[in-house]
Chain A
Amino acid sequence: MIEAVGLTKRYGEKLAVNDLSFTVKPGQVTGFLGPNGAGKSTTMRMILGLDAPTSGSVTVGGRPFRRIAYPLREVGALLDAKAVHGGRSAYNHLLCLAQTNNLPKRRVEEVLGLVGLTAVAKKRSKGFSLGMGQRLGIAAALLGDPKVLMFDEPVNGLDPEGILWIRNLMKALAAEGRTVFVSSHLMSEMENTADHLIVIGRGRLVADCTVQEFIDNNSELSIRVRTPEPAKLSGLLADKGAIVRNDGEEGELLVTKFGMSDIGDLAFDNQVRIHELSPIQASLEQAFMELTKDSVEYHAAVPAGKAASA
């Protein structure tokens, strides 16, 4: 269980996280979504006490992270797979982490076996591929058999096999009753993994709901209409207050804010032929784009040079 109350982080002029309050519950995968720069990583760093909040507080299992008796037994985190000393072997990397929490040495060997790195345990992690580095990070997160797991963009840059492995791992961890908190800017990934969503944009909470609620509340059903007379039909629909887009194929219209039967009736009444009339289910991706449009627009308005450094 992770509980944030009024969490705020200011870097100079920039408000990275703005009065964020949420609860991450055990037994499910909670997706932490937002466009790049929304404050996801900063929030996770504050959960771990790496960054001190400007105001507000966050607890894990009812305590600030720094006061937990055995931090690795409570929280396993993978924030950045590259945050290792590349000159140290995988085994020694995990050993030095395990020792801080008085975890037995055999646990290091066990987690190495679990993630499939036993064969390279004595190799320096400098030579690891992205996927191996990610597996080493997962091994570190699992060291203390923690109740809470946090992953920051865990599938970034992984091949499909690696993505599937992490997805199944997160689901299995949640199925055991653990709290799993995973950030991503990839909606499609969350759609397949998460049960619950916390969405932020520009450091603010924009949604805290189940995946289905998120889609239902934040996206409208749109209807695809194919007609040989697109100009006439879009004029008629616009007069009735429908939103019509014709940026697809020739003769194809995307209609929102107007029912499917209403479109059919309108076409019939005006003798417009219709070749297709089909509903389009909005994906999480679209719902997310819709919801965070403001923050994305904000970033797009920044000159290119500044945006790159932000």
Chain B
Amino acid sequence: MSTITDATTPAPAAFPGLTPLPPATGRAGIGGALRSEWTKIRSVKSTVWTLSAAVVISVGIGALASWGQSSHTTESAARLATEDLTARTMSGIFLGQLVMVVFGALAVTSEYSTGMIRTSLSAQPRRLQMFLAKLVVVALVAFVVGEIISFASFFIGAHFWSAKGIHLSLSAPHEALQAVIGGGLYLAGAALLAFGIGAALRHTAGTITLGVFLLFVATVIVNFMPQSWQADIDKYLPANAGSQVWSTQHTADVGTAFGAWAGFGVYMVYAVIALIAGLWVFQRKDA
């Protein structure tokens, strides 16, 4: 410590092991924010657990449903051909979407429940940048996992049906590929809806409750309403509108349901509203 007055060496003794940083140009931008959010999401166990649970639950239930129906059905092949067996292979999505809600919610609410948000914003105070980076990472991860779920469910289901002599493939019926890709899109949409709600509420339990209500409970409640009401409300419910994109048949529902992409559009409107509300709160409210 006696050499600390030596002006020629600017106090390296106090900070051993630190080498000078490279000079910086420009400003901290979206690239760094994206890398940071990717590090955040891959480095906590809750991500691994929720996404594994989503895959196991969705694919497992889908497989169980396909096996059960294919091995026990008494319907003729001709009758079965009129049904949406493609969508049925992916019926695990009904529960898998709820796990995706948990994933999307935790991605943002865990920052608040742990207090990490204050540390994050002290490193990158430009909130729009952080919000967008987090949104992109959550959307991509949810999309990839969603596609894994939908494709795995479809191929496992097709395997069970082929034993029954019914051949499901991605090219027949012609909407099959759309439906299977749509399954992953739908699951990503559930995560985004929860992400938006999470940013607006900043509370894990509240976010999951509202997400599950919108995607699940609301559908159940409407089923108990008078028929004439159902006809008006039913197709606008997020789960009903969104599920059109992972279905192959719409002729039976003409007039009572949206088409595949129109339905998905309605579904995404819910997510976008939640995201706009979330961004507004994220930008305006003290962290």
Kindly provide the distance from the CB of A164 to the nearest chain B CB, expressed in whole angstroms: 13
- A95, B39: Cβ atoms under 8 Å? yes
B226-269 residues with Cβ-Cβ distance < 8 A to A are none
- A100, B115: Cβ atoms under 8 Å? no
In the assembled complex, B178 has its CB within 8 A of some CB on chain A:
no
> Knowing A110-B17, A114-B17, A144-B21 touch, does A100 contact B116 (C-beta < 8 A)?
no
In the assembled complex, A107 has its CB within 8 A of some CB on chain B:
yes
- A66, B125: Cβ atoms under 8 Å? yes
A52, closest chain B residue (CB): B286
Kindly provide the distance from the CB of B51 to the nearest chain A CB, expressed in whole angstroms: 15
- B17, A99: Cβ atoms under 8 Å? no
- B119, A84: Cβ atoms under 8 Å? yes
- A71, B124: Cβ atoms under 8 Å? yes
> Knowing A83-B114, A111-B18 touch, does A69 contact B119 (C-beta < 8 A)?
no
A101, closest chain B residue (CB): B28
- B40, A96: Cβ atoms under 8 Å? yes
In the assembled complex, A55 has its CB within 8 A of some CB on chain B:
no
In the assembled complex, A262 has its CB within 8 A of some CB on chain B:
no
Binds A, one of B41-49, B58-66, B141-149: B41-49
- B28, A70: Cβ atoms under 8 Å? yes
- B119, A97: Cβ atoms under 8 Å? yes
> Knowing A50-B122, A52-B286 touch, does A176 contact B11 (C-beta < 8 A)?
yes
Chain A interface size, as a band, is: 35 or more
Binds A, one of B29-37, B85-93, B187-195, B214-222: B29-37
A73-114 residues with Cβ-Cβ distance < 8 A to B are 73, 75, 77, 79-80, 82-89, 92, 95-97, 99-104, 106-107, 110-111, 113-114
Chain A residues whose C-beta falls within 8 Å of the C-beta of B40 in the assembled complex: 85, 88, 92, 96
A49, closest chain B residue (CB): B125
> Knowing A69-B24, A88-B43, A89-B43 touch, does A83 contact B119 (C-beta < 8 A)?
yes
Given A45-B118, A172-B4, 5 further pairs, Cβ under 8 A: A66-B126, A73-B24, A88-B40, A101-B28, A110-B19
Give the B-binding residues of A (Cβ under 8 A).
Answer: 45, 48-52, 65-66, 68-73, 75, 77, 79-80, 82-89, 92, 95-97, 99-104, 106-107, 110-111, 113-114, 140, 142-145, 168-169, 172-173, 175-176
